[in-house]
Amino acid sequence: MWNLWQSGFVRSLILDSALLPAVVAMLIVVAAYYKTRKYPGWRSTFWAAAMLAGFLVGYALTYRDFSFPPRTVLSWLPWLALVGGTIAAIADHCRHQWWRYGARGLVAGASAFILLWPILRQETMLAAFVAWLTVAVLWSVLWFALTPDHRDQKPAGITLLVGAVGLALVAPLLGSILLAQFGATLAVVLTVALVFSLLVRGSRWDSPSADVGILILGALMVDLRFYAGASMVVMVWLLVSLAAGAGVARILQHRGHSGRWTVLAPGLIGFPPVAVAGWVALQTYLASGGGY
């Protein structure tokens, strides 16, 4: 283990993708806890801010590109998370449920178009429209399923955590260490926010936190499929994991199971499909000779 830490490459991966983002997220969460004792309703907003700040730190240390307008597909990540998360948070305070759905659909559709634009402009209009519509609809439906209302969204957070871990495991087998680092960073900041919300009695993990997680994970999955070359089989199993977690979360909410540790059930159900996706990616890696 010490020999691994002595490797500059491994040490950089751990520090940039996990430890430093976790420290930043943890500092914000702890500060928010003490600053919001009289206003506990604001904690979920700070959980989201902690996640976003931690991820942006990991992004800055790993990719270091905050150019505007963005020069690459990955350069859009921080801007989509910031702008999309803000729009979703504003819509979340609207009285009418359809404003929430509309804002999430709009953000998902716009994000899909931006990320896919380098590919769409090379296709015929019909093929481009079908590709964009498929991604936008899948992204929107998963978003609606994971955050259907204003209830505590810890089960959605657990589901997103399993999805982020799956992406971090699959991406390097497909030749993208960079996406694996981003997936690991997202998993780490999700873990920090979720652990604190589970440990602090009466603390909710509301839509703003889930919105940030869905935006970032969705963007990474688009990159994994269209730019890292993930097979359709791998992507289907990752989507099945998210769908299974969302389904279990809905069942728990419908039956009123809101225990502190009951929320882990979506993660347990979502993990087997992630394991299958990892196995399929591993077979692809071995079949290609195990090289990058």
More confident residue, 98 or 105: 105
Residue 184's pLDDT band, with cuts at 50, 70 and 90, is very high
Q: Please give the residue that has the higher pLDDT: either 40 or 29.
A: 29
- 3 and 171 Cβ atoms separated by less than 8 Å: no
- Residue 224, token pair as written in the block: 């994994």
For 147, other C-beta atoms within 10 Å of its C-beta total 25
Q: What is the pLDDT of residue 291?
A: 47
Distance between CA atoms of 159 and 126, rounded to whole angstroms? Answer: 34
Residue 50 near residue 28, CB atoms below 8 Å:
yes
Confidence band of 260 (pLDDT split at 50, 70, 90): low
Round the average pLDDT of the chain to a whole number and report it. 81
Alpha helix stretches (DSSP H) within 42-153:
43-62, 77-92, 97-120, 125-146
Which pLDDT does position 86 carry in this prediction? 81
**What pLDDT band is residue 240 in, cutting at 50, 70 and 90?**
very high
Other C-beta atoms closer than 10 Å to the C-beta of 114 total 16
**pLDDT of 146 higher than 50:** yes
Alpha-carbon torsion (91, 97, 101, 102), positive or negative? negative
> What average pLDDT does this structure show over 258-263?
64
Give the mean pLDDT of 99-123. 87
Whether the Cβ atoms of residue 188 and residue 18 lie closer than 8 Å to each other: yes
For the cut 60, the answer to whether the pLDDT of residue 212 exceeds it is yes
Compare 54 and 89 and report the one with higher pLDDT.
Answer: 54
DSSP 260: T
- 53/99: higher pLDDT: 53
**Nearest one of 271, 270, 209 to 244, comparing CA atoms:** 270
Question: Cis before residue 155, ω within 30 degrees of 0?
Answer: no
DSSP annotation of 18: I
Q: Does residue 228 contact residue 182 with C-beta atoms inside 8 Å?
A: no
Whether 21 has a pLDDT exceeding 80, the answer reads yes
Give the confidence band of 52 by pLDDT, cuts at 50, 70, 90.
confident
In 10 A of CB 156, how many CB atoms? 32
Run of H or E residues at 27: helix 20-35
Q: Which residue has the higher pLDDT, 71 or 33?
A: 71
